[in-house]
Structure 1
């Protein structure tokens, strides 16, 4: 008994929902007392006898708009940080005591400028010794050449003296290099970083003295999703913004990207270059990156025009007052606008509101005026 009551209740709910959505079926309307008179009165002149009609002639009220072609801007966004295109750590080649330090944090230096002087007294003496030995070897060669005609010196003696000169010259060269190593110079143009080196400190070989960044050109490294692969090419423009300079956009270009995707993030690493002639941008700053892709005009409709079924997405068209379902492929979506792929001609009327209530071939009521099918077409 309870099961029967439950079935009757469920049937009543379904029937009520159907009547609210689509009106009373003709087969049931005719059974109601006085239904024939009521239908005849509402049908109006020329309506078939005994045929019930919904208010408005059975038409569904909808809102339509013409199909338009609109451009779409696909924007890929990423976060990246900058490094100087040329950046070095200044390292001491030899150990020694600092006798002079010209390092000033954030100062601009040119390649070859002296940064630190180390104690070089030993190297100066070694150079003097090597120079004296060279002078002595050269004098020996000249003396042997003069004695060669008197048979006091053989050609072998002269050859040995020339070898001694070459060895002395090499010793002088080594002494000069050792002396130059006591002076630490800037290898590139750029801005100095912080340094703890002071006069009197003893530094060791391979110790980092200071950093130099040439920030005239900055490099930004960032990650883009897999779908960006078709857009990556050298020279492609990117836009960068930093919270340090609110409202200002810096333009750069891609100069390198990885040849494979990250197996975990499914993204590709990209490097872009930004000119920084005024050096306002610093190495290490964070940037919001935008890669803008302008796509040619495509059919665009409001998101409310898209309906779904087992067959996929579709839109409804208003063809001489008749609703027709046309399958479409969604390409892009932004806000309440959808770009689609379809064969529908530009300017065709697309149902943008009320599409969920439509059935194939149904009559439409647009902007308060009923759109009925033409006489030669079925209602």
Structure 2
């Protein structure tokens, strides 16, 4: 009898445990079905409306800065350097003496030629007086006059040779690195330094052939150097190559930056924006709203709040009480970029609310809760700090 009672008690305990576990499993299954029907929890995102903006038309390119006037200074004749009148990187005016070569031999020859000319002047004057008196024949007068002209010409030759040994700046500008030293023998044509004008700069760039019809001399050009906003400048188009390069199908364009003491230096790489006279209306969104993928670019547009569940008093809300909305994936066709914005040619209308933060974690018709406490401050002309 005692064994029977023990067995019955054990069965009751086991039955109770089975009932409890069954109830827990049933409850968990019910919660799973409810969560499956409710879907995943909403994602928190930030949004802004797509805006209609007026953008000036422009053409984008990259260019190279070239000097308005730039030469390599070199000597015309050989000689030994006896004087250097500049330092590397110095500013000079037109006519400043840069280098002087040894000209002692030429100066001695000049002194001798001046003595010869003085004698020729005296002889020619005496011969003229005798010729006027009818004493000296005309032939002797011609000889003396020719000797005078020859002595004068010889002086001019020597003066020119001496002047060629004094190397001067052909125009005002900034000198490069000095490549000569005192006492050095300088061959004809050997480089001394470079000289670049500082009263402006050229910027040469190329544009595709189909944009040739939009170009004209006098158009304004904006120039910028990546990472160095202090070098930004403006110029105007001064020349357009009349022919298209047959290998690249590009048109060469030259702009002039007339800013005195411009910070742009020859050889620099610059971004060029040619400002066209017309303007156009575009629908733009911040670039952070665009999701790039191999199958195309898209944005997530926020639709109306979800429909309330049967029996509910209102639409579903998130933990903070904000209504749960749906994010619809919309494929778009993008245009040019301007600052933090990109033009949307097709796919989004002005005023539609697009996701700008958190779009990477969304899918089509995903539930979202909008939290715009911290929204990206997108600008057409951003000026980020270089840190």
TM range (shorter): 0.5 to 0.7
Q: Deviations over 1:277-296 (max 9, x none)?
A: 13432222221101133535
Q: 1:171 corresponds to which residue?
A: 154
Change (3 A) 1:169 1:264: same
Q: 1:243 corresponds to which residue?
A: 226
Determine whether 1:113 maps to 2:96.
yes
2:214 pairs with one of 209, 216, 231: 231
RMSD: 3.1
Unaligned 5+ segments in structure 1 are: 1-67, 303-330, 341-348, 354-379
TM-score (ref. length: structure 1): 0.60
Tell me how far apart the structure 2 counterparts of residues 297 and 115 of structure 1 sit (CA, whole Å): 55
Q: Deviations over 1:10-36 (max 9, x none)?
A: xxxxxxxxxxxxxxxxxxxxxxxxxxx
TM-score (ref. length: structure 2): 0.59
Determine whether 1:218 maps to 2:225.
no
Determine whether 1:93 maps to 2:98.
no
Q: 2:316 corresponds to which residue?
A: none
Q: 2:120 corresponds to which residue?
A: 137
Q: 1:81 corresponds to which residue?
A: 64
Q: 2:345 corresponds to which residue?
A: 338
2:140 pairs with one of 147, 157, 161: 157
Contact preservation (8 Å) 1:215, 1:283: no
SS of match in other structure, 2:69: strand
Q: Deviations over 1:336-374 (max 9, x none)?
A: 62289xxxxxxxx99x99xxxxxxxxxxxxxxxxxxxxx
State the aligned residue count: 251
Tell me how far apart the structure 2 counterparts of residues 301 and 108 of structure 1 sit (CA, whole Å): 48
Tell me how far apart the structure 2 counterparts of residues 116 and 168 of structure 1 sit (CA, whole Å): 29
Tell me how far apart the structure 2 counterparts of residues 283 and 248 of structure 1 sit (CA, whole Å): 13
Superposed structure 1 runs of 4+ greater than 4 Å apart: 68-72, 296-302
What does 1:41-52 correspond to in 2, within 5 Å?
none
Cα shift at 1:228: 1.6
Change (3 A) 1:94 1:242: same
Change (3 A) 1:229 1:190: same
Change (3 A) 1:237 1:154: same
SS of match in other structure, 1:215: coil
Cα shift at 1:110: 0.7
Change (3 A) 1:79 1:297: closer
Tell me how far apart the structure 2 counterparts of residues 91 and 247 of structure 1 sit (CA, whole Å): 35
Q: Deviations over 1:31-57 (max 9, x none)?
A: xxxxxxxxxxxxxxxxxxxxxxxxxxx
